[in-house]
Structure 1
Amino acid sequence: MASALKNLSEYNSDSMPDISGKRFGLVVAEWNKEITDALCKGAYETLLQHGAKPDNIYRNTVPGSFELTLGSQFLAQSNEIDAVIALGVVIKGETKHDDYICHAVAHGLTQVGLKFNKPVIFGLVTTNDEQQAWDRAGGKHGNKGVEAAATAIQMLKWLD
């Protein structure tokens, strides 16, 4: 469903598992830093809200969204991390670079999750312009970071 039809910060929290002992890796792209920081804040606060301990949330940065895949793999390969949340922003430009980057990140994160048999969550905002990105980083469409954290928590039910 398009985020224009759904608030990214709304989810059903009734069936969330206990995550007090779980460890999360946040991989955050530095490109579009102000927006990715807002996504990270949404994810971090959501994890805390559901019982994660601050000492069990690790944030690593990568230069851009393309690097989210390898950054996620570095965290996912650790037995100390239960779930990885990759956060980035790709804004359409004058070329087709956004198509290539988004496809590569989606495919790469899927492969990392399958390789390490743990949740690796796609928290990439893909928009036509900067305002649409802000609308999905705490604006009128909610925060994709919140949605990504809620997804990570829900996927952990499969591992218990």
Structure 2
Amino acid sequence: MLDIGYSLSRRFPDPPQTNYRAADVRSLRHDLFCGDVYLADTVKDQEVSTAWGWVPVLDFAWALCDIVEQLDRDPQGSRASRPQYAELDFTESSDRMLFERRFGWVDVEADWMPGDEPALTFNHGELRREARDFLHDLIADLTDMHEGLADNPAIWDLQARFPRLP
């Protein structure tokens, strides 16, 4: 089973004067809501996680949803035998999270993982559903904490672009 989660950093707080209602996409994706993220296989008790404290968690959720869609561009979908690749790079470092889809399964690895650590493997449909749930849950948490964020048009667009799946 897949679990995606986050924690916000106390070392890198958002500027107190931030107008969340008017924050632009660049600020939302790169300057605000820093912390750490993880993807975990709860059955195998394995995870890929950051421990840096500066990862923009909204950007991570946004990029993860984009990547899941990117991995589904082959018209054959889960029947495609040719691997499809994507990567999530972290802006402030050279570290990357790597995704490879073959058939209906996605392997997730990270540059910073030890070489003998096996990749996490998830069903593509489950990864899509969980990534979108994570995005919406994160937005709900952030809008509870930050006045005006729920009224930001970029947040509305993001929620409309990646709706929850049944």
Q: Give TM-score scaled by structure 1 length.
A: 0.27
Larger radius of gyration: 2
| The structure with more helix, counted as a fraction of residues | 1
Question: Which is strand-richer, 1 or 2?
Answer: 2
Q: Which has the higher contact order (CA 8 A, sep 6+)?
A: 1
